[in-house]
């Protein structure tokens, strides 16, 4: 499988698992209150993990303005060999 496809479907899978756990906890009739709270907490954690993995990882610079200017500094830092001579 393509790594991009796996990276795209992992949040979907985690959100589906979290939703399934949440629905199972809500509709389970014989759970005690502490078990129900733990189940909802687990479902929320799975959904939050999916939301975190679904974040965009690109870092794009947005420069707006009429007087925007780009400067590039190509000066080299002295190395230890050049500094001794």
Domain ranges of the chain: 1-54
* pTM for this prediction: 0.61
pLDDT digits (tens, 9 = 90+) for 66-77: 666 667 776 776
pLDDT at 7 over 60: yes
- Read off the pLDDT band of 8 (50, 70, 90): confident
Neighbours of 83 (CB within 10 A): 8
Q: Please provide the DSSP assignment of the chain as one string.
A: --HHHHHHHHHHHHHHHHHHHHHHHHH-TT--HHHHHHHHHHHHHHHHHHHHHTS---------STT-------PPPPPHHHHH-
Condensed to tens digits (0 to 9), the pLDDT of residues 12-62 reads 999 999 999 999 999 998 999 999 999 999 999 999 999 988 877 666 666
CA dist., res. 59 & res. 56, Å (int): 8
């Amino acid at each position: 499988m393509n790594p991009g496809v796996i990276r795209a479907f992992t949040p979907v899978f985690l959100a589906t698992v979290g939703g399934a756990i949440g629905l199972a906890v809500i509709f389970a009739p014989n759970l005690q209150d502490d078990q129900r709270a733990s189940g909802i907490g687990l479902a929320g954690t799975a959904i939050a993990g999916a939301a975190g993995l679904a974040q965009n990882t690109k870092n794009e610079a947005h420069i707006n303005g009429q007087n925007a200017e780009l400067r590039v500094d190509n000066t080299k830092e002295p190395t230890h060999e050049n500094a001794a001579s």
